[in-house]
Structure 1
Amino acid sequence: MSKKITIYTADNCPYCTRAKALLQQKGVTFEEIRMSWGDEKAWADAQARSGMKTVPQIFIGEKCVGGYTDLAALEEKGELDALLGR
């Protein structure tokens, strides 16, 4: 069973673009939560959830897998599909 994927992003973020492209390439649907750079509450909420201060922040189910480089590393090691529930 597929797990819900959530990705926190911000405008003009190349790593956000790469993360979304990787997920789209895998045929995964995801919820994108766009945060504006000046929205301190949204950033604080995202940081409280993930422990991260940067974007993208990628969640598979309730698990934060990190950012783009973490997502790409999971794909490279062949572990991403299992996390996605495939």
Structure 2
Amino acid sequence: MANVEIYTKAWCGYCARAKKLLDSKGIDYQDYDITMGGPKREEMLERAPGRTTVPQIFIDGRHVGGSDDLMQLDREGRLDELLAG
């Protein structure tokens, strides 16, 4: 099983959509809430250069993008392969 990390903020519809997809697949993930900023926000900015919006999603350390990118991977049938590890 892949190691999945997701940077989110409270009341973020895109974050909720991405987590719902992962939940529907039975995937455990580490959720980093950066609503109030802090070191995890800085970490996200370093790991995903040029990306300031949430969610930002990483699978096995690889940046896969945001919610729309995750949905696209699923539509293309590539997400399950990445999640298998």
Query: Using a 3 Å threshold, how does the CA distance of structure 1 residues 41 and 29 change in structure 2: closer, same or farther?
Result: closer
Distance in 1 between residues matched to 2:6 and 2:40, nearest whole Å: 13
Tell me the percent identity: 38
Q: Which residue number corresponds to residue 78 of structure 2?
A: 79
- Unaligned segments of structure 2, at least 5 residues: none
TM-score by length of 1: 0.90
After superposition, the C-alpha distances for 1:21-69 in whole angstroms (9 at most, x for unaligned) are 00001111111010124x2543222111112111001100110100000
Q: Which residue number corresponds to residue 44 of structure 1?
A: 42
TM-score by length of 2: 0.91
Is 2:32–2:40's contact at 8 Å kept on the other side of the alignment? no
Q: Is 1:18 matched with 2:39?
A: no
